[in-house]
Amino acid sequence: MTFRWFGAGDPIPLAHIRQIPGVRGIVSALYDVPVGDAWPRNRIARLQEEVNAAGLDLAVIESIPVHEDIKLGRATRDGLVDQYCESVRTMGELGVPVLCYNFM
């Protein structure tokens, strides 16, 4: 079972989430990376380390935002798709097993 955590600024700390019976994983994201930029490996790793230090696993990333140029098929989309794919690969290399994608 997982629980959503909005990072260090979340009013619910990881220590409190860890106390919920059955919760072993965290759903989170990098909220300050500009849409379209690849998520830096060190930032995903730092988030993962923070979650692990609380005795939990970073189980789900929700979500890596999709740039509007991809959705609209604009000329810059291919480079943005490459950035998105890089973020997904990095997430996988670090062992985060799930990417929840919300197309809105």
Q: How far apart are CA 30 and CA 6, in angstroms?
A: 9
Q: Are 47 and 7 in contact (CB under 8 A)?
A: yes
What is the three-class DSSP state of 78? Answer: helix
Question: Which run of H or of E encompasses 27?
Answer: strand 25-28
pLDDT of residue 104: 61
| Distance in Å from the first CA to the final CA of the chain | 25
Task: Give residue 102's pLDDT.
Answer: 73
pLDDT by residue for the chain (104 residues), tens digit each? 999 999 999 999 999 999 999 999 999 999 999 999 999 999 999 999 999 999 999 999 998 999 999 999 999 999 999 999 999 999 999 999 999 987 66
Q: What residue ranges in 42-87 does DSSP mark as E strands?
A: 57-62
Token duo for residue 19: 């106390």
Instruction: Count the neighbouring beta carbons within 10 Å of the beta carbon of residue 95.
Output: 9
